[in-house]
Structure formats: C-alpha cells, structure tokens
Amino acid sequence: MRTRVLVAGASILLAAGITACERTTPGTVAMTTEPGASLSTTQRTTTLPTMPSFPGIPGLPGIPGLPSTPRTSSNVPPPPNSMTMTCKEYNGLDADTQLSVIQQIVSQQGSVIGKQNIEIAKTLADAMCQFIPGSTVSELLGGSPP
C-alpha cells in the first residue's frame, strides 16, 4: 500500500510540474521611462591599425606574385605541336608559351571555349593538367582529341 501512495504522489507531483511549465502569465513587458545617456556629450574617435595593401587586390596584404589583371595575349609564337601537346609537356613550359598554346587551341574552328574566355581556358588547363598529365591540352579544353 505504501508503494501505491508513493507512486500516486510522484505522479501528482510530475503532473503538476508539467502543467506549471506550460502555463503562461498574461501581462505586459515592463518599459522604462528613464532617459538614457546623451549621445552628443563626447565623441570618441578610434583609429584602426593600417594593414599594408597589395596593389590590385585591396585588403589582402603581403600576397606576392599575383597579377593585377589577367593576361589574355602572348607575344610568343605557339609551338608547332600546340594541338597535340600533352599536359606533361604543357606543365614544363613558361607562362607566356602556355598562354600561346591556349590561344592556338581556342582559336580553332568549332572551339567550345570562345576567344573572349582565354583566361578561363588557361585556368582550366593549368588545373586539369596537374591531375591528368597524359591527356592532351586540346582534348581537355575541347572535349575531344584533335
């Protein structure tokens, strides 16, 4: 009998606790009528430390070697094997010769990438040739072998 009384008492306490948590008390939020501090009494000026800026990319300090504008033309003539060049060969070229290879590939009839997107084509070739050195550059940019 004592167990029944304890279980019944615990149930009543539990039910009371649950219903008490569900109740809301109507009313209003207290508002103050006290005036706040004056905003025009004193003005503080804070000087932030200046960071060195990188020409061409404002706000990025100390990043050397980034060009300020993308290059879309090269004065270097393309190698004779530009259309059949493998990515391994392409990776060994200097930046000007790489750009001339990309220009040669993009200027071909039926090129998927237009002449106005040479910097995009170069970025794609640079990235993909790192992972697929056995493919040809024209195959990666054009989607089919020459």
pLDDT band of residue 111 (cuts 50, 70, 90) is confident
pLDDT at 117: 83
User: pLDDT for 26-77, tens place per residue?
Assistant: 777 666 676 766 666 555 666 666 655 555 555 555 555 555 555 556 678 8
- Is the entire prediction scored with pTM above 0.75? no
Q: What is the mean pLDDT of residues 13-29?
A: 65
Judging by beta carbons within 10 Å of its beta carbon (0-12, 13-18, 19+), is residue 110 exposed, middle or buried?
Answer: exposed
pLDDT at 105: 87
Domain boundaries, the chain: 87-142
